[in-house]
Structure 1
Amino acid sequence: MSSNRPQKGYKAVSVSIPHVESFSLHTSDYASTTDSSTSSQFDAGEPIQINEGDDIIVNHSSELPYRLIENLGHGYSATVEKVEDTWTGCVYARKVFRIHGGHNKRRQVYENEVRIIRRLDPHHHVIQVFATYMAKRELGLMLTPVADSGDLGTFLEDFLDEMPRDSRKIRIINMAFGCLSSGLAFLHKQKGRHKDIKPGNILIHQETVVYTDFGYSFDYSSQNQSTTDGRPDSFTRKYCAPEVEDWAPRNSKSDIYSLGCVFLEMYASL
C-alpha cells in the first residue's frame, strides 16, 4: 500500500479515529458518567436486571441476563449476536467489542457508536441503543430492533433468486427509497455523517428499513461544517464517493452519493 493513497482492491481501515477526541465519555471513566445503581459492579452469581438506558459494569459477561439465540455476523471491530433477556423475554442485537492489549481502536469505535446513536433523537429508521455494559475485556451494546428480515444486501440477493417475485418484497423495496431518504435527511439535520452507507448497514425490520453500524460515523454538532479530509476511518469502495477513495476533502454529500449507489441496486432488482 502506498503511503499516500490506497491501492486498488484495498478496503481501507484506519488505525485511529481523529474525531473521537471531541467526545467526553471514555470507558476509563465509565462509572462516573452513570448513576450509582447501574454503574456499580455486581457480585458473581447475582441476578441482574437491565433497564433501558442502563450502563452496567460486571465482573464477567456470564452475569448478564442474556441467552444467546444465534450469531448474526461479525466485522473488523465487533461481533453481533441475537440474544434474549431472560427476565423480560425481550430480544436484542448484542454487539460485542472484545478488547485485548493494544486494541484501543475497538474501544474508540465502541465509544463513538454509543455517543452518536444516543445523541440522535429517536427515529424509526435509525437503530437504538437499549443499554450498554462493560465486562473486563468485553464491551457490549444492546441494540434494538433485531431485524426480522436481515440486512438489505441479503434481502436483495434473496429477492433476485425468487421466481415468481414476492409482491410484499416489491412493496418493501419501493417504500425503502423514501424511508432511506428520510432517515438520511434526519441524520444530517442532527449533524451526523454515517460515512459507510451500504446495503449491509441497512436492516429490514417489520417491512421498513433501519440504518445501523455507526461506529465510524462523524458527529459534527460542535463544528460549523461536516467536512473532513485525510485517510478515511473506513469505507467500502463499491459504495463510497470518489473523494472518499481519493482521501480528498468530503462532507455529508458523500453519504448522499453512497445512498445513490444503494438506490441503483434496489432499482436494478425490481
Structure 2
Amino acid sequence: MSGRSSTTTPAAGAPNQLRIVEGAHEDLDSGSELPFRCGKILGLGASAVVQMAEDTFDGRVFAHKMFRSTVGRVQNPWTRRAFLNEIDILKRLGTHRHIINMQWSYVHGNEFGILLSPVADEGDLNSFLSAIRNTRTLPTPEQQSILYRAYGCLANGLAYIHSHAIRHKDIKPQNILVHRGCMIYTDFGIALDGTHQSTTTTGLAEGFTRRYCAPEIVEQQPRNSSSDVFSLGCVFLEILAVLVPHFTAIVSDHRPYAERLPDLFDPDKLSCHNQDEPSIDEQQV
C-alpha cells in the first residue's frame, strides 16, 4: 500500500495495543488483533459486508466495511481495486456533511477493511422510503421534512463530489444514508477520480445498477458526470413517489428508468391516483 502512511498510537497502560487514528492505514499480519469488535450487520453487498464496530480502546462506534477478497476459494482482484479506490476517493473528498467519512483502513491477512462514520440512525434511503410505503399512509411531518430537505442535501453533495472531478457512478437509494435528518453519500468503490484523466469514459461499463443508470451507460456510449445527475434524478422521483402518492407507479414499475423515459413525462402513466380519493391536503386535515 505504497503512498499511505501507517500510524499507530499506543494506549495508556497497553503499549502494544493498536489504536484507531483518523485517516491512518495499517498493514497487519493475520495474527494481529484488530482494535475494534464487530456487532450487528448493517448491510450486505456483492463484494463487502458492513457491520457495526466499537473501538475497544475508547468505545467509539463506526460502520465497518469489510471487503471479501475471495469468491469461494478464488482470489478476487476486483475487490482489492475497489478497496484501494474507495480509500483514495474518500481521502480526496475529505470532510463534508453529505459524504461518508473514512476514519481508518487496514489490510489484515486476506481481509481488507475501512471504518466509516457516522453509523446512520435511519439506515439507507431505500429502507427509509420502504418503511414509509409499508405503512400505507402519508409520511409523518418529521419524515416529510427530511424528504423535502433531501433534494437540496443530495444536490449539494453531488455538486461537491463533481467539483473534485469525481464521478460516483452508482447513485441509488441503497448508497445514500439517512442520519439525523441528513442525506449522506456512501459506497465509492467504483467511483472515478478524474483529477489526472477525463471524467468522460468509453468502452464497456461495469459495476452499475441498471435500474438507476443513465441511457448512455445501458447503450455503452461515452458517459460523464451527467450520468450521475440522471441517477440522482431517479432517486428524486422515488422520493417524490412517497411524498405524493399520486405517483406510486414510479416505484411499482420495476423496469430501469432509462427504458421508460417517455412514461416519466406522461402524468397519466405515472399516476395511480383514484380521482374519488381525497387529495393529499384533504388527508392531512
- Class of the TM-score when normalised by the shorter of the 2 chains: 0.7 to 0.9
Give the Cα–Cα distance (whole angstroms) in 1 for the partners of residues 81 and 208 of structure 2: 17
Where does 1:1-270 land on structure 2 (aligned, <5 Å)? 27=1, 29=2, 33-35=4-6, 37-38=7-8, 46-60=16-30, 63-100=33-70, 101-162=74-135, 163=137, 165-223=139-197, 225-270=198-243
Distance change >3 Å, CA 117–CA 33, structure 1 → 2: closer
Instruction: After TM superposition, give the deviation of residue 34 of structure 1 in Å.
Output: 1.4
Give the Cα–Cα distance (whole angstroms) in 2 for the partners of residues 91 and 217 of structure 1: 26
Partner SS for 1:155:
helix
Instruction: After TM superposition, give the deviation of residue 220 of structure 1 in Å.
Output: 0.1
Deviations 1:18-73 (A, max 9, x none): xxxxxxxxx3x4xx6314x449xxxxx94322111221222237611212220112
Partner SS for 1:268:
helix
Q: Structure 2: any 5+ residue segments left out of the alignment?
A: 10-14, 244-285
Instruction: After TM superposition, give the deviation of residue 164 of structure 1 in Å.
Output: 5.6
Distance change >3 Å, CA 62–CA 167, structure 1 → 2: farther
Instruction: After TM superposition, give the deviation of residue 233 of structure 1 in Å.
Output: 2.4
Give the Cα–Cα distance (whole angstroms) in 1 for the partners of residues 47 and 8 of structure 2: 25
Give the Cα–Cα distance (whole angstroms) in 1 for the partners of residues 91 and 213 of structure 2: 25
Moved more, 164-173 or 234-243: 164-173
State the one-letter code of the partner of 2:59: G
Partner SS for 1:83:
strand
Please tell me whether Structure 1 or Structure 2 has the larger radius of gyration of its CA atoms.
Answer: 2
Cα pair 1:191 1:219 within 8 Å, conserved: yes
Moved more, 165-174 or 193-202: 165-174
Higher relative contact order (CA 8 A, sep 6+): 1
Cα pair 1:38 1:57 within 8 Å, conserved: no
- Give the paired residue count: 234
Give the Cα–Cα distance (whole angstroms) in 1 for the partners of residues 31 and 56 of structure 2: 14
Give the Cα–Cα distance (whole angstroms) in 2 for the partners of residues 134 and 121 of structure 1: 21
Partner SS for 1:63:
coil
Identity of aligned residues (%): 43
**Which ranges of 4 or more aligned residues in structure 1 deviate by more than 4 Å?**
none
Cα pair 2:85 2:190 within 8 Å, conserved: yes
* Alignment root-mean-square deviation, CA: 1.8
